[in-house]
Amino acid sequence: MIKNILFDLDGTLLPMDMEKFTQGYFKRLVMKAAPHGYEPEKLMKSVWAGTAAMVKNNGGITNEEAFWNKFSEIYGKEKAGADKPMFDEYYRKEFSGVREDCGFDPDAAETVKTLKEKGFALVLATNPIFPAAATESRVEWAGLDKNDFLLYTTYENSHYCKPNPKYYEEILERLHMNAEECLMVGNDVNEDMVAETLGMKVFLLTDCLLNKDNKDISAYPHGGFPELLSFVEELR
């Protein structure tokens, strides 16, 4: 019996074209950092390097530490440490402009509301490569409230990333949940459907489908939000 539903955010509850989102994100970040001596190309490569370090994180440190350790290797500990408040401010202020590079689907918020009213415990299982401030903003852009969820994963509170199954294990352990009582909903075949290997049920939301390896999606229950609600009813 399913008691808990985990939702991905980007491309699931918040519609987006990842390329457009990434361009908007870097455009604003480069403008913020340039006066502090950051050359655009090097900065972008450094952020990607830090992201790769988070994806490879094996649990010994937080994703935040993994990112800043790599960033400090590139720019030096002194500069990285001195400028971290500036980057934190970017996520609190300028990052809000990236909203125009995202979509909006009222069915997403309505589905979350419906499932919450039915008594399901909800978790926002978004890949934790962003600070809490950026995650909370994207939750708002989707028409949701962070308090809709028992937990939302961020780079401060997580030690793994998708598609590492340990990312999902960490959520289960933290919330004392059993995998067999969980449903993972996401739009990325590789990153979200891997939760099935732990014993979770999965549902592939296809509105903003990501399937870089062109896997056969017929192996997974899939569709839009109406199909998701029907699937949840079948599981009860």
Report the 10 Å Cβ neighbour count for 207: 15
Query: What was the pLDDT predicted at 175?
Result: 98
Query: What was the pLDDT predicted at 46?
Result: 98
Q: Does residue 236 surpass a pLDDT of 90? A: no
List, for residues 158-187, the tens digit of each pLDDT value: 999 999 999 999 999 999 999 999 999 999
Q: Give the torsion through C-alpha atoms of 145, 96, 56, 160, to 10 deg.
A: -20
* Distance separating alpha carbons of residues 93 and 33, to the nearest angstrom: 13
Q: Rounded to an integer, what is the distance from CA 183 to the centroid of its chain?
A: 16
16 closest CA partner among 104, 112, 97, 146: 104
Q: Does residue 123 surpass a pLDDT of 90? A: yes
Range 145-181 burial, b when 16+ CB lie within 10 A, else e: eeebbebbbbbebbbbbbbbbebbebbbeeeebebee
List, for residues 144-157, the tens digit of each pLDDT value: 999 999 999 999 99
List, for residues 26-45, the tens digit of each pLDDT value: 999 999 999 999 999 999 99
Q: Please state, rounded to an integer, the average pLDDT across all residues of the chain.
A: 97
E-state strands within the chain: 4-7, 121-124, 151-152, 182-186, 201-205, 222-223
SS3 content of the chain, % helix, strand, coil (to 5): 55, 10, 30
Structure tokens at 213: 């390896």
Query: What was the pLDDT predicted at 62?
Result: 98
Mean pLDDT confidence for 194-215: 97
Q: Does residue 198 surpass a pLDDT of 90? A: yes
List, for residues 9-23, the tens digit of each pLDDT value: 999 999 999 999 999
Query: What was the pLDDT predicted at 17?
Result: 95
Query: What was the pLDDT predicted at 223?
Result: 98
Confidence bin at 197 (pLDDT 50/70/90): very high
Q: Does residue 51 surpass a pLDDT of 90? A: yes
101 closest CA partner among 40, 207, 23, 32: 23
Question: pTM of this prediction?
Answer: 0.96
